[in-house]
Amino acid sequence: MKDISIKQVTKAELMRIYDDSAFWAQEALPFTRPRLACYLQNTRAELEDVLWVMAFEEGKVVGYLALVPELINSREGALKVAWFSSWWVHPRQRGTGLADRLSTLAFDLYDGIAIDSGYHFALKKMKANCDFEIYQLRQRKHYFLSMNKRILQGYQVSNPLIYLLLPLARPLLTCISKLRIRRWLNRNRQANLKVEYIHQIDKDSLELIRANADRELVYKDADYLEYRAFLPLKLSTPAFLPEKYHSYFGNVGAEAECRMVKLWEGEELAGIVNYCIVDNTLTIRYYCLLPNHEAKLIYLIAKLCSEHCVDRITTHDAVIIRQIKTQRLPYLFCKALDMPVFLSKSLIGKVKSDLHLFDGEGAF
């Protein structure tokens, strides 16, 4: 086996890599330039912070683990930690222990490490790692309104007959779902609800957000919220780009829309919501509502599904999951995936239990 060198790369060094045309001329890089830009734009990251741990073999990238610096609410105030983010090892190096070497090195870089275990590999690794404890048990639920090729590929469906029938089945499923949702909207009208689209967090919205800040895991300010709100657009790979520009993570975001909206009950601000629709999947990335206004959020979700091409709603938010069940929002079927949040043991006791983590927060 050839020698593999592992390097800790700071934000300042990644900025130089971002501008290095020779680096991007390498073949089969596991990440794209726009993806790197998203780590550089993180408002929590300082120039000296290590953002990527990279493994090289003969000058070529054969593995990397990205880190997302974050401020979380602790008993002692805002505390800087990092999320383990995208994690990749070249196929020929898998099983050699390289992934463990990357994670072990990254673990010592910050006072605390958090894991948002959305992937089976990360979940398996963290359960086996005695340096981490489960902070929060939760499930991600996928509510299917229809089906598309990307979703099937994501579930590793390989039956060619299913793909052959998909062009006929998808329009039928979509039609059935839209009819059911429109009937639901007619039965659950929100007569006084008004929606205002915004591009920046304004004073009224920030006051509402700060009033709820003590219930949330991530410390927030306007710059952070705006950075997170439109992140899927920056991570997207437009459909017209050749395949060589796609990352290891696929052509995610070939179609993407992200919006921030204010919900009004007459003249009263009832809440603020950040949603995105990426490749026909709707996610509520962040929301903040006045008490007893949860029905307005579900009404907004239904309205978006009615007006846009949405094949799936995905969420790990317990409030949204409970409200979808309580209000009987129609869908074809649902799949659930365990998605616990892990914290390094150094953080246990410093962080209050059961603080809220939204879909738009954590790793990306």
Where are any strands of DSSP class E within 11-149? 50-57, 60-74, 77-89, 113-116, 132-136, 139-144
Residue 358 lies in a domain: no
Q: What is the pLDDT of residues 29-75, one digit of tens each?
A: 888 888 899 999 999 999 999 999 999 998 889 999 999 999 999 99
Count: domains in the chain: 2
133 and 226 part of one domain: no
312 and 223 part of one domain: yes
Helix, coil or strand: residue 129:
coil
Strand partners of residue 53: 8, 65
- The answer to whether residues 311 and 174 touch, using CB atoms and an 8 Å cutoff, is yes
- The answer to whether residues 6 and 105 touch, using CB atoms and an 8 Å cutoff, is yes
Assign residue 108 the CATH number of its domain: 3.40.630.30
211 and 88 part of one domain: no
How far is the CA of 13 from the CAs of 10, 52, 81, 84, 87, in angstroms?
A: 5, 10, 20, 19, 19
Residue 355 lies in a domain: no
Phi, psi of 217 (to 5 degrees): -70, -40
Strands 113-116 and 77-89, how do they pair? parallel
131 and 245 part of one domain: no
Tokens of 2: 């050839």
Residue 359 lies in a domain: no
Confidence of residue 117 (pLDDT cuts 50, 70, 90): low
Q: What is the pLDDT of residues 313-325, one digit of tens each?
A: 999 999 999 999 9
Q: What is the pLDDT of residues 169-193, one digit of tens each?
A: 999 999 999 999 999 999 999 989 9
Residue 11 lies in a domain: yes
104 and 146 part of one domain: no
Q: Which domain holds residue 244?
A: 141-338
pTM: 0.89
232 and 286 part of one domain: yes
25 and 122 part of one domain: yes
Q: Calculate mean pLDDT across residues 146-157.
A: 83
Single-letter amino acid, residue 264: W
Q: Which residue has the tokens 């020779």?
A: 22
90 and 215 part of one domain: no
Which residue, 111, 138, 165, sits at the end of a domain? 138
Confidence of residue 250 (pLDDT cuts 50, 70, 90): very low
235 and 129 part of one domain: no
134 and 174 part of one domain: no
328 and 191 part of one domain: yes
Residue 326 CB partners (closer than 8 Å, separation 6+): none
171 and 249 part of one domain: yes
Residue 346 lies in a domain: no
Which residue, 138, 170, 185, sits at the end of a domain? 138
Q: What is the pLDDT of residues 267-319, one digit of tens each?
A: 999 999 999 998 899 999 999 999 999 999 999 999 999 999 999 999 999 99
Give the pLDDT score at 121: 57
Strands 256-265 and 50-57, how do they pair? unpaired
Strand partners of residue 315: 141
Give the pLDDT score at 248: 47
